[in-house]
Amino acid sequence: MTSAILKLRHYCAYQERCHSEVKSKCFELGLRGEEIDEAIAALIADNFLNEERFAKAFAGGKFRTKHWGRKKILMELKQRQVSAYCIKKGMEEIDAEDYDKTLYTLAEKKYASLKGEQYLKRKYKTMQYLLQKGYEPEFIQDTVEQIAKGGE
């Protein structure tokens, strides 16, 4: 059990992890049932595992480095079985002003890269790209309209 705990500590110290990732790692290390619960409890007690900290790091990181939108980040956190409270805390890491600026910059870049396309196709492809990045349709619509009017 102790070598498994040491491996799990190293695993959690390397980067922030959520409970489901640690649980999967426990299975890999051959832990079962109560052993997993005890290992996770020990990691939480020693502050190696903190789901709120994970959610904040994940949301902030994905937004800053990959420029993901709120919807995509939310879905990823849900897929990792992060609690609703921690997801809410994580989403607070995204500054509204930065979010708007990033959306505008991404839209501008994508729209500019489609210079040869017809007007409607250009708008459509830009919107699809932003939807795939996880931005909200209502924000995308306004932003792309704004850019399209400015670029004509």
SS3 134: coil
- What does pLDDT average to over the chain? 94
Euclidean distance between CA atoms 122 and 126, whole angstroms: 6
Q: Please enumerate in sequence order all residues whose Cβ is within 8 A of that of 138, keeping only pairs 6 or more positions apart, or say none.
A: none
Does residue 152 have a pLDDT over 70? no
The Cβ of residue 130 has, within 10 Å, a number of other Cβ atoms equal to 23
The pLDDT-based confidence of 124 (bands split at 50, 70, 90) is very high
Q: What is the widest separation between alpha-carbon atoms in the chain? A: 66
